[in-house]
């Protein structure tokens, strides 16, 4: 429990519970941060970290329990401005900069423009103050630089300078800040970034920063803490714990590890705490029973051990077989190609991109290849390249023996037999304002011109095979639940009989029953010869469906896990470091 330290805790979270409908996001969570401490908050996706951050920053009110900041109870804040007035500063992954304005003006927007007579902005003083502020935060960017031209590491530094910059250099920004409230005058409620910071919450701010630059950013945090500021650092990266004084691990809304004054667990053990009991218990509640939803991550009681986590999935539904039977006559599918493309289907050789540095891999028909890695490892670029969403800078890509040109478009990749289900369903996956059946025929629209019977057949095939609810082909895609949207997208692409199916977090925001159907479909598609590339931030899922897992680190395949090596522990280790 709480160590006996001389200082009173600056922030005290006292048995906070938060319930969202069925889901208990936080369950009796307590946490203390002392002045000058960096307190790292760890947890897998859906562990309740974000909810806790929202409660600590006053954006959400807890159902029970309380948050105390410097001896005062936080209540009824409700807005970022109100929280800021209490001295709470939250820095998110996305820096709050306006891309087409200069750094100078983006900072001034938050910290205030100082004005002189006639309401004129004191440009010279402002420039001097901002330059001093940036220097104090170790950001080597000219105030006159356009924000869109500033790199990720410096953007993070500027975000920090906006939030708490005056802490390190009391002189800097004082001039601008002083006149700030008057400066915004007629326009607004006054800048947020002024006043004294009493708590800093950084929410995965290093996720977008290349590893080499992240260290500099962490040093900034450390210096702020050393100046006496309590910091809560939400992170995915275990490497960042070096600068932390204290560590709390959340799992399924509960505190499962609290370092306190004892010696910290080694990194591997922390991962273990994040993902749950060490046994190979996979989160697979049978369809219809309680399992985990993405945001809940309730791994505990509902989970059952499974003997075979392989793709065979004996005795299960065969959605893809059903779908193929139903859509045998529909146009658009790639007749006979799947059978022809036996053996090695995907071959990437020395592929480079903005984060990839020579990725080489092959994948065969019927394989389910999983990918793990931190967001900045370049892993996010692979599905983009495979879907034609981003060009590769170098290297070669071959699909079923055919070379793909460097600036391939999505249409090229589709023609080559590669289909992708993106993570962002509503923006990149389906068209919310079109009906289910119109969504399903989109990839081969011209084939369905004046052939509504065929369109009907395909739509009902998808509905039956993947058990889409409600069973109405005319329902708007946007009106479907997340799980059913995903089933429709899966059906849309699988009805084309693709050689390669790329899945990006396919169960994100999907209910447990739909999740099971999606996994059945994945297993069945693989059984019928589709090569599947599976990207997921949940190690359990990779362990469950993959025949091989590639760990991406620093833009290359750092490690291949196969067969018995695919354990939750191994996969989780590679996901978080």
Q: Which residues bind another protein (CB under 8 A)?
A: 80-81, 96-106, 108-110, 112-113, 115, 118-121, 123-124, 127, 142-146, 148-149, 183-193, 354, 391, 393
Q: How many CB atoms lie within 10 A of CB 187?
A: 7
DSSP state at residue 469: S
Q: Give the β-pairing of 199-203 and 231-234.
A: parallel
> What is the closest distance, in whole angstroms, from the C-beta atom of residue 168 to another protein in the complex?
21
Check whether the bond before 74 is cis (ω within 30° of 0): no
Q: Pick the closer one to another protein by CB: 339 or 393.
A: 393
Phi, psi of 410, deg, nearest 5 = -55, -35
Shorter beta-carbon distance to another protein: residue 183 or 491: 183
Q: What angle do CA 279, 283, 284 make, to 5 degrees?
A: 120
Q: CB of 414 within 8 A of CB of 467?
A: no
Query: What distance in Å separates the CA atoms of residue 524 and residue 532, rounded to the nearest whole number?
Result: 11
The smaller minimum CB distance to another protein, of residues 46 and 193, is found at: 193
97 vs 566, which CB is nearer to another protein? 97
Q: Which is nearer to another protein, 94 or 226 (CB)?
A: 94
Q: Are strands 556-562 and 548-553 parallel, antiparallel or unpaired?
A: antiparallel
For 427, residues 6+ apart whose C-beta sits below 8 A from its C-beta are: none
Task: Report d(CA 100, CA 418) in Å as an integer.
Answer: 36
DSSP-assigned letter for residue 463: H
Q: Which is nearer to another protein, 112 or 297 (CB)?
A: 112
d(CA 523, CA 367): 9
Pairing of strands 531-535, 368-372: parallel
Least separation in angstroms between residue 451's CB and another protein is: 35
Backbone φ, ψ for residue 233 (5° rounding): -115, 110
In the complex, least distance from residue 124 CB atom to another protein, rounded to whole angstroms: 7
Q: How far is CA 270 from the centre of its chain?
A: 20
Of 36 and 96, the one with the shorter C-beta distance to another protein is 96
Cβ nearer to another protein, comparing 237 with 392 = 392
Distance CA 82, CA 84 (A): 5
Q: From the CB of 21, what's the least distance to another protein, in Å?
A: 27
Q: How many CB atoms lie within 10 A of CB 336?
A: 9
- For another protein, give the closer residue by CB, 188 or 305: 188
Specify which residues 500 forms β-bridges with.
418, 531
> Minimum CB separation from another protein for residue 192, in Å?
5
Tokens for 404?
Answer: 């793909």
Of the pair 391, 401, the CB lying nearest another protein is at 391
Question: What whole-number distance in Å separates Cα of residue 499 and Cα of residue 528?
Answer: 10
Write down the least CB distance from residue 201 to another protein, Å.
15
Shortest separation between residue 108's beta carbon and another protein, angstroms: 7
Least gap, CB of 443 to another protein (angstroms): 24
DSSP assignment string, 31-65:
EEE-TT-EEEEEE-TTSSHHHHHHHHTTSS--SEE
Of 177 and 247, which CB lies nearer to another protein in the complex structure?
A: 177
Q: Which is nearer to another protein, 290 or 354 (CB)?
A: 354
Shortest separation between residue 187's beta carbon and another protein, angstroms: 5
Q: Give the residue with the Cβ less far from another protein, 98 or 431.
A: 98
Strand partners, 556: 553
How far apart are the C-alpha atoms of 396 and 464, rounded to whole Å? 39
As given in the structure block, the two tokens for residue 530 are: 């589709």
Of the pair 427, 450, the CB lying nearest another protein is at: 427
Least separation in angstroms between residue 103's CB and another protein is 7
> What is the sign, positive or negative, of the torsion defined by CA atoms of 407, 427, 378, 514?
negative
Listed in sequence order, the residues at least 6 apart from 119 whose beta carbon sits closer than 8 Å to its beta carbon are 185
Tell whether the torsion through CA atoms of 372, 20, 48 and 97 is positive or negative. positive
Shortest Å, Cβ 113 to another protein: 4
Q: 285 Cβ partners below 8 Å, 6+ apart?
A: 291, 292, 302, 303, 304, 512
Shortest separation between residue 185's beta carbon and another protein, angstroms: 7
Smallest distance, another protein to C-beta of residue 419, A: 24
Place of tokens 């006496």: 228
| Spatial separation of the C-alpha atoms in residues 426 and 535, rounded to whole Å | 18
Residues in the chain: 577
Least separation, in Å, of the C-beta of 90 and another protein? 10
């Amino acid at each position: 429990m709480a160590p006996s330290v001389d200082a009173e805790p600056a922030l005290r979270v006292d048995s906070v519970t938060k319930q969202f409908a069925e889901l208990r996001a936080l369950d009796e969570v307590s946490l203390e941060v002392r002045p000058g401490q960096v307190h790292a908050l760890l947890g897998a996706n859906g562990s309740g970290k974000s909810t806790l951050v929202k409660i600590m920053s006053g954006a959400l009110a807890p159902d029970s329990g309380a948050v105390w900041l410097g001896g005062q109870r936080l209540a009824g804040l409700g807005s970022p401005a109100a929280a800021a007035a209490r001295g709470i500063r939250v820095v998110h992954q996305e820096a709050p900069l306006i891309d087409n304005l200069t750094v100078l003006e983006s900072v001034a927007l938050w910290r205030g423009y100082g004005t002189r007579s006639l309401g004129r902005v004191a440009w010279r003083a402002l420039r001097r103050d901002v330059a001093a502020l940036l220097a104090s935060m170790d950001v080597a960017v000219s105030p006159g630089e356009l924000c869109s031209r500033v790199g990720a590491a410096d953007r993070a530094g500027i975000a920090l300078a906006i939030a708490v910059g005056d802490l390190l250099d009391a002189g800097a920004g004082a001039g601008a800040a002083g006149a700030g409230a008057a400066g915004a005058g007629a326009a607004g409620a006054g800048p947020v970034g002024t006043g004294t910071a009493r708590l800093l919450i950084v929410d995965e701010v290093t996720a977008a920063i290349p590893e080499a630059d992240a260290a500099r950013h962490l040093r900034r945090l450390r210096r702020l803490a050393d100046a006496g500021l309590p910091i809560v650092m939400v992170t995915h990266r275990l490497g960042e714990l070096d600068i932390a004084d204290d560590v709390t691990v959340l799992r399924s809304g509960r505190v499962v590890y609290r370092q306190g004054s004892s010696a910290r667990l080694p990194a591997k053990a922390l991962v273990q705490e994040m993902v749950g009991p060490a046994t190979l218990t996979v989160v697979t509640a049978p369809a219809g029973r309680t399992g985990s939803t993405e945001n809940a991550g309730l791994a505990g009681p509902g989970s059952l051990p499974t003997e075979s986590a392989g793709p065979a999935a004996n005795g299960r539904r065969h959605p893809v077989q059903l779908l193929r039977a139903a859509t045998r006559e529909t146009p658009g599918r790639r007749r006979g190609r799947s059978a022809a493309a036996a053996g090695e289907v995907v071959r990437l050789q020395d592929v480079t991109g903005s984060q990839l540095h020579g990725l080489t891999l092959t994948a065969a028909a019927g394989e389910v290849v999983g990918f793990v890695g931190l967001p900045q490892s370049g892993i996010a670029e692979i599905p983009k390249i495979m879907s034609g969403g981003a060009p590769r800078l170098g290297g070669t890509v071959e699909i079923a023996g055919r070379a793909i040109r460097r600036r391939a478009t999505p249409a090229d990749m589709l023609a080559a037999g590669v289909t992708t289900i993106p993570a962002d369903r509503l923006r990149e996956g389906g068209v919310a304002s079109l009906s289910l059946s119109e969504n399903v025929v989109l990839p081969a629209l011209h084939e369905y011109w004046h052939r509504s019977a065929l369109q009907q057949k395909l739509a009902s095939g998808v509905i039956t095979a993947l058990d889409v609810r409600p069973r109405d082909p005319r329902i708007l895609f946007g009106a479907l639940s997340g799980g059913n949207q995903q089933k429709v997208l899966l059906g849309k692409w699988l009805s084309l009989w693709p050689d390669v199916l790329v899945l990006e977090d396919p169960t994100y925001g999907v209910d447990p029953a739909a999740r099971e159907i999606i996994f059945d479909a994945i297993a069945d598609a693989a059984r019928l010869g589709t090569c599947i590339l599976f990207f997921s931030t949940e190690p359990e899922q990779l362990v469950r469906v993959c025949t091989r897992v590639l760990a991406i680190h620093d833009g290359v395949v750092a490690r291949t896990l196969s067969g018995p090596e695919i354990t939750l522990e191994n996969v989780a280790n590679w996901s978080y470091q």
